[in-house]
Amino acid sequence: MPSRYDDVMSLSVRRGFLWPAVDLYGGSAGFYDYGHLGARLKRKWEDLWTGYFLGLGDNYYLIDTTTILPEVSLKASGHVDHFTDILVTCTKCKESFRGDHLIEAVTHEEAEGLTTAEVDAKIVELKIRCPKCKGELGPSRPFNMMFPVGVGPLGKDRAYLRPETAQGAFLNFKREFEALRRRLPLGLAIVGRAYRNEISPRQGVYRMREFLQAELQIFFDPATFGAQLPIDSVRDERLRVAMAGEKHEPIATDRTTSDLIRGGIPGFYVYHMALVQRFYLDRLRVPRERFRFAELDERERAFYHKVHFDIQVRQDSLGGFREVGGVHYRTDHDISGHAKASGKDLSVPVADRKVVPHVLELSFGVDRNVWALLDLDYELAGERAVLHLPPALAPVDVGVFPLLSKAGLPERAEALYRDLRPGFDAFYDETGSIGKRYARMDEIGTPFCVTVDHATLEDGTVTLRERDTSGQVRVPGTSVAAILRDLIDARRDFRSIGSAVARP
């Protein structure tokens, strides 16, 4: 029987969401391409993310920065010296593996954060052999995951593909602060590609060598930031949280924002946790029981993260809760590091003081979130396959069909399709039975279908069908565009649209 992962990947490949890159030549591990539906789904997720998170502040902006960074900037950020995973190589077949992954495969517990000595000791203790040939594993060593780039005709100027989008925001902070009239907090968001030379990419798009990030870096004055936020607006909101000692459990505990603040987590941090949870539960429609924040302890998180919670979604295709983002309090590590290395004063005036801004990072893996939506929303029920995407994210907004391919119905349906095209991602189809056309739309997540029939020629009404319930209502053809916009934007409920009609 196919696994959940196989079902979701089969949908992705068959219908044009995503697949391994360069598969014409056998693929390339850690690289994936988006097809026509996947590219639309990804872009709509990015647009939804951008609209929501830039809307959190009136001084938050989207920027776009280079993907190649000179070595000096990444030396200052710590990536040259510390951006490493632990590499273990088989002495027999020479295949390489991540040390923590080898240990996790045996213990089924997270092993990230172990030193090379601890990895070596665990491999001996657990008697781990090479997964490929069962040969003996050699000693572990750090492996820098950045992709080096030689810049210039002789490649003398050393640089790297950026390992994260965040550095673009840090490097441009001072210029943006000056251009935006010297105000804090200042939010700089970047949606773009990052690159990590993963030792052993696995689990599809969950761990990739080229991937997409959506990150918002919020630069703030730690003395005043909490007072500038409407923290009372989330007072006693219940958040799904697994603290550091609980994250191996299959569930999370509801904790109020007040409880978390009393437990020592800064109020501004908890406030943003609440807003992130709202994004997932309300905008992405992730079921509450499948969402949680998972705390990382001092051993697991980056040394400069004062507070770090992963954003996790439980995905059956990946075997449980998996990280799709994170909320990181980075203190002033980044700005101070670049100030020291560059010799430039990156402090900024705030009232009568000079402040080195602290940073709160809201970080999201775009590819991971797209996969999570496919996993959560794809339902196989008997012979019916339905992708229950939120209407605002569906690659195709509406399918437009003539009931029959004759009697003037195709012409009328195509005219309606042309009218809808400027404002919607619409799809026209007149091949196969109407039931099969509905089924094709259901499987790719199209939330609504409009059918033109004989009654349309008489009174101008059409049938509007809703994906999740298969319910149908009769509405005026001239009102379809306005009704669809209200439904997609969640301003109206489908049951309130018109009188129900019997299904064909």
Does pLDDT of 480 surpass 60? yes
Label each residue of 336-380 as H, E or C: HHHHHHHCCCCCEEECCEEECCEEEEEEEEHHHHHHHHHHHHEEE
DSSP 258-318: HHHHHTT--HHHHHHHHHHHHIIIIIS---GGGEEEEE--TTTS-TT-SEEEEEEEEEGGG
Report the distance separating Cα 393 and Cα 11, nearest Å.
Answer: 17
Q: What is the pTM of this model?
A: 0.93
Residue 227 structure tokens: 């007072």
- The tens digit of pLDDT for each residue in 174-194 reads 999 999 989 999 999 999 999
Arithmetic mean of pLDDT over the chain: 94
Does pLDDT of 504 surpass 70? no
Does pLDDT of 451 surpass 90? yes
Residue 381 structure tokens: 């029920």
- DSSP run (H or E) holding 122: helix 116-125
Contact 403, 452 (CB under 8 A): yes
The pair phi, psi for residue 212, each rounded to 5°, is -110, 135
pLDDT of residue 501: 74
- The tens digit of pLDDT for each residue in 138-147 reads 999 999 999 9
Residue 170 structure tokens: 């840090």
CA atoms within 13 A on the CB side of 489: 9
pLDDT of residue 202: 78
Report the distance separating Cα 483 and Cα 467, nearest Å.
Answer: 15
Does pLDDT of 502 surpass 90? no
pLDDT of residue 59: 97
- The tens digit of pLDDT for each residue in 216-265 reads 999 999 999 999 999 999 998 999 999 987 767 777 899 999 999 999 99
Q: What residues have CB less than 8 Å from 259, skipping those under 6 apart? A: none
- The tens digit of pLDDT for each residue in 352-392 reads 899 999 999 999 999 999 999 999 999 998 889 999 999 99
Instruction: Output 321 or 498, whichever has higher pLDDT.
Output: 321
Say how far residue 181 (Cα) sits from the centre of its chain: 32
- The DSSP call for residue 130 is -
Report the distance separating Cα 213 and Cα 323, nearest Å.
Answer: 13
Report the distance separating Cα 116 and Cα 315, nearest Å.
Answer: 31
- DSSP run (H or E) holding 440: helix 434-444
Name the nearest CA neighbour of 288 among 354, 227, 237.
Answer: 237
Does pLDDT of 1 surpass 70? no
Scan for tokens 């069908």, then name that residue. Answer: 465
Tell me the one-letter amino acid at 364.
F
pLDDT of residue 247: 64
